[in-house]
Amino acid sequence: MPHPAPYTLLVQHAAQVLTLAGGLTSRPLAGPHLRDWTIIERGYVACVDDIIVAVGAMDDLDLARLGPETRLVDATGCVVMPGLVECHTHLVFGGNRAHEFERKLRGESYLDILAGGGGILSTVRATRAAPEAELLANALHHLDGFRRYGVTTVEAKSGYGLDRDTELRLVRVAREAGRQQPVRVVPTFLGAHVVPPEFREAGPQAYVDFILREVLSDLKGEAAFVDIFCEKGAFPLDVSRYYLEQAHHMGFGLKIHAEQLHDLGGCEMAAALGATSVDHCDYLTPAAATRIAQQTQGQTVAVLLPLVPLFLRQEKYASGREFIDNGLPVAISTDFNPGSCPSKNLWLALSIACLKMGFTPKEAVAAATLNAAWAIGLAADCGSLEPGKRADVLVLNVGSVAEIPYWLGENPVREVIIGGQYQ
């Protein structure tokens, strides 16, 4: 019988290894499972090439698998955990909206700025005008920033083109950015972000018909998910339902921006259609969350974005504690974008989720790793430290899981390993 391959990488002597293992395996973590996963005190993580092959306590380490080529990482006093998974970002765009920041500080609302031709439409103008090389350079810059925060997988939405050619270019740029650096990029098509100026008179229905007729067929194999912004000033509930139904028939996975500013019923509608995630959810009621959890048997993830109401100076945050207690799986992301969250600091999002949404530290970590991986269909490959998964591993300059959200706004990352390779 052949001997097992020697370890190529060993992260050892960790104060805590946050495995995210030991809970549910066939669906996202929900209820008490969100905090009942296994922490190994004084542990190790061993990899062969780009795959995790063993996780355990130092006393159980198989010394026979150490060889002269094994790279040893001393994690004494540190937390070791899976790479963060960003499951809701708007990675590719032109320009920025710093010029609107003061308007928000003077009291103008997100929807007021959008109605006046600013907001998303401002970024659409800048993105349409930007050369593809500039968009790619910007995306690579942002991915480098995410990597420094310990993010090893990023979902990247389009949505700042709102015409056929620009939207396809944004998906193409996201895919190319993923090829040029180590952070994995998962494109999502958000062509139905808002109604573009060219369709202002024709209206939302005419615009989604255009997308269905002229754009989606060219995205097969390029983007696994389609998304839509169901909100006042964007797309009403009936048009959102029609669009998602048609996209589902075309073979796309479904996502939705819903219940961000009003309770329109978009989350329940999308979940009933089998959406992988429902995102924002600040105005989703606990009762509706319970219905979603029951109707979908815990398969649809509510992606919560705590930095958005913080940046927009809103009082309403998603009812995370109630969602968890009522059995709805939850994930946490930044919603990195130029208008409502120009931040890549997912650690800060975890802290705000604890402070404003009622998460515990263990729940927050699970929401930004394993459940975030479920929200983009990659839970079989990342989000936890388990044999067989991709070797995306972080070493943190903190000694316990409780410290992660405690150090408000700090980046605790000491080492980032993606696919078994130091970054």
Would you say 90 is a known binding-site residue? yes
Q: What amino acid is encoded at 105 in this protein? A: L
Q: How far is CA 419 from CA 45, 192, 271, 390, in A?
A: 13, 34, 33, 6
Would you say 97 is a known binding-site residue? yes
Would you say 335 is a known binding-site residue? yes
Would you say 150 is a known binding-site residue? no
Token pair 């949404």 is found at: 357
Residue 350 phi, psi (nearest 5): -65, -40
Which is nearest to 279 in space by CA: 216, 335, 208, 202? 335
What are the structure tokens assigned to 309, written together? Answer: 């109401």
CA 207/CA 215 separation, integer angstroms: 11
Would you say 340 is a known binding-site residue? yes
CA 416/CA 80 separation, integer angstroms: 10
Task: Name the DSSP class of 325.
Answer: H
Would you say 337 is a known binding-site residue? yes
Is residue 51 packed enough to be buried (19+ CB in 10 Å), middle (13-18) or exposed (0-12)? middle
Would you say 313 is a known binding-site residue? no
Handedness of CA 291, 294, 300, 305 (dihedral sign): positive
- Pairing assessment for the beta strands 39-48 and 9-18 based on DSSP bridges: antiparallel
Which is nearest to 272 in space by CA: 285, 256, 259, 261? 256
Would you say 172 is a known binding-site residue? no
List the beta strands (DSSP E) in 2-95.
9-18, 39-48, 51-57, 71-74, 79-82, 84-86
Would you say 257 is a known binding-site residue? yes
Would you say 339 is a known binding-site residue? yes
Q: What amino acid is encoded at 300 in this protein? A: T
Would you say 388 is a known binding-site residue? no
CA 416/CA 393 separation, integer angstroms: 6
For the annotated binding site for Zn(2+), the residues are: 88, 90, 257, 335
For the annotated binding site for N-formimidoyl-L-glutamate, the residues are: 160, 337, 339
For the annotated binding site for Fe(3+), the residues are: 88, 90, 257, 335
For the annotated binding site, the residues are: 88, 90, 97, 160, 193, 257, 260, 335, 337, 339-340
For the annotated binding site for 4-imidazolone-5-propanoate, the residues are: 97, 160, 193, 260, 340
